[in-house]
Amino acid sequence: MDTPSPAALHEAVLDWYDDHARELPWRGPQATPWSVMVSEFMLQQTPVARVLPVHEAWLDRWPEPADLAGDSTGEAVRMWGRLGYPRRALRLHAAAVAIVERHDGAVPTTYDDLLALPGVGDYTASAIASFAFGQRHVVLDTNVRRVLARAVSGVEFPAPAVTRAERDVATDVLPDDPATAATWAVATMELGALVCTARGPDCGACPIAESCAWRGAGFPAYDGPPRRGQAWAGTDRQCRGRILALAREHDVVTQAQVEAAWPGTEQRERCLGGLVDDGLLTQITPGRWALPG
């Protein structure tokens, strides 16, 4: 099977996106750059369905970066709720503070200025620049990487980390027109989220199935390094989550409450110490903790 031309990929995927794009509050002309930025922090390793209510509540309370910057980090952690990976809340708060200090409270428009914000890496800077400002950047989230790995490179899954070869492929198929490139980025992301999924790709619904290199090769199984699982039960992540849930519900959390929530002494103490070290909890006195002020 011949490798599909970029123009053919663009037409098929963009037409599909026109018909199948989900209506999400951080998309479309009504979305503010701050809404886009908040969504990108929240959507990291978290499904859209879980993000939607938290994103809405966040924007209701802090409609601009300055609103969040003027509040405490503890309230950011509290409002983060059960999205997981709560250090993202601290990073988003720090980014809001930097936006106020460096950019007069407006989300910066350039990739370099975005990348210089706390908690913003290449993917997030590229995504905000593309989705909020219609710029031309390679946007490589998990879904996009999987679509390009299958459709262009003929493998089931991409490497655990972005490679130079993978970035070159993404650059080669990126439309030249900035606005079209920005739409291509979100369209391939949507295709990976809804059709070309990790566990059950629906090739019958895929607009580029006929030209897909992986399908044409007979769906060869992934043979790369082991892919990271998402274990939860009994992990430090679960323990930390239970302790933080107590802190969101109570002004002060006591040793007795923490012991009732997680009986394993060694793991519990390790997780408590980690939460304090990460700035997610403050120890008020021995045996008493709270969200940071």
pLDDT in tens, 231-249: 778 899 999 999 999 999 9
pLDDT at 101 over 60: yes
pLDDT at 51 over 90: yes
The pLDDT confidence band at residue 108, using thresholds 50, 70 and 90, is: very high
Q: Is 40 a catalytic residue?
A: yes
Q: Are residues 154 and 248 in the same domain?
A: no
Q: End of a domain among 230, 257, 274?
A: 230
For strands 288-290 and 282-285, give the pairing: antiparallel
Read off the pLDDT of each residue in 18-43 and give the average, rounded to a whole number.
Answer: 96
CB 212 within 8 A of CB 151: yes
Q: Are residues 153 and 188 in the same domain?
A: yes
Confidence at residue 222, expressed as pLDDT on a 0 to 100 scale: 87
pLDDT tens digits for range 174-184: 999 999 999 99
Pick the catalytic residue from 11, 23, 40, 75. Answer: 40
Confidence at residue 230, expressed as pLDDT on a 0 to 100 scale: 60
Read off the pLDDT of each residue in 61-89 and give the average, rounded to a whole number.
Answer: 96
d(CA 38, CA 135): 18
pLDDT tens digits for range 82-99: 898 999 999 999 999 999
When divided into structural domains, the chain yields a total of 2
Confidence at residue 5, expressed as pLDDT on a 0 to 100 scale: 83
pTM: 0.89
For strands 253-254 and 282-285, give the pairing: unpaired
Q: Are residues 137 and 276 in the same domain?
A: no
pLDDT at 1 over 60: no
d(CA 21, CA 195): 12
Q: Are residues 187 and 286 in the same domain?
A: no
Q: End of a domain among 185, 206, 230?
A: 230
Q: What are the tokens at 49?
A: 């369905």
Q: Which domain holds residue 286?
A: 236-290
Q: List strands edge to edge, sheet with 288-290.
A: 253-254, 288-290, 282-285
Q: End of a domain among 182, 213, 230?
A: 230
Q: Are residues 15 and 122 in the same domain?
A: yes
